[in-house]
Amino acid sequence: MSEITAEQVAHLANLARIDLSSAEIDRLTVELGQIVDSVARVAEVATPDVPATSHPMPLTNVFRDDVVVPSLTVDQALSGAPDRAGDKFRVPAILDEE
């Protein structure tokens, strides 16, 4: 069985800025535990010569040339912002974070 605890789920929820009720935390603790267990079973059959897969397609080195293309206008860039001051995004005081 996995060792996912309610505290870990609450911590993760906080990191992801998701407001979970205690009932939701309890449910997700069980569900996440099942997911972790399932992944662990895959790990059992994957031998060391099977590299971890991050991308399903065998593509590498997809690059673009270093050429400037037009950007958005300032108004377009700011159009989705909840608040602005002049040409800048305005955000609430953030001292809690720093």
Partner 1 sequence: MAKAELMDYDKALELFEPVLGFEVHVELNTKTKMFCGCANEFGSGANTNTCPTCLGLPGGLPQVNRQAIESSIRLGLALGCEIAETSRFARKNYFYPDTAKNFQTSQYDEPIAFNGQLTIELESGRQVTVDIERAHMEDDAGKLTHMGGAAGRIQGADYSLVDYNRGGVPLVEIVTQMIEGGEADSPEIGKTYVAAIREIVKALGVSNARMEEGNVRCDANVSLRPRGSNILGTRTETKNVNSLRSVERAVRYEIQRQAALLHAGGTITQETRHWHEDTGTTSAGRPKSDADDYRYFPEPDLVPVAPSRAWVEELRATLPEPPAARRKRLQAAWGFVNLEFQDVVNSDLLDVLEATIAAGAPAQSARKWWTGEIARLANAAGVSAESLVTPAQVAALIELITDGTLTDRLARQVLEGVIAGEGTPSEVVASRGLAVVSDDGPLIAAIDEALAGQPDVLAKIRDGKVQAAGAVIGAVMKAMRGQADAARVRELVLERAGSAAAEPAPSESAE
Location of structure tokens 């994957």 = 46
Binding mask 29-58 for partner 1 (x = CB under 8 A): -------------------------xx-x-
Query: How many residues are there in the chain?
Result: 98
Torsion, Cα 79 85 90 92, to 10 degrees, reads -140
Work out whether 27 is an interface residue with partner 1 (CB under 8 A).
no
The one among 21, 22, 47, 60 contacting partner 1 by CB under 8 A: 60
Q: Is 37 helix (H, G, I), strand (E, B) or coil?
A: helix
Q: Which residues bind partner 1 (CB under 8 A)?
A: 12, 15-17, 54-55, 57, 59-69, 71-74, 77-78, 80, 85-95, 97-98
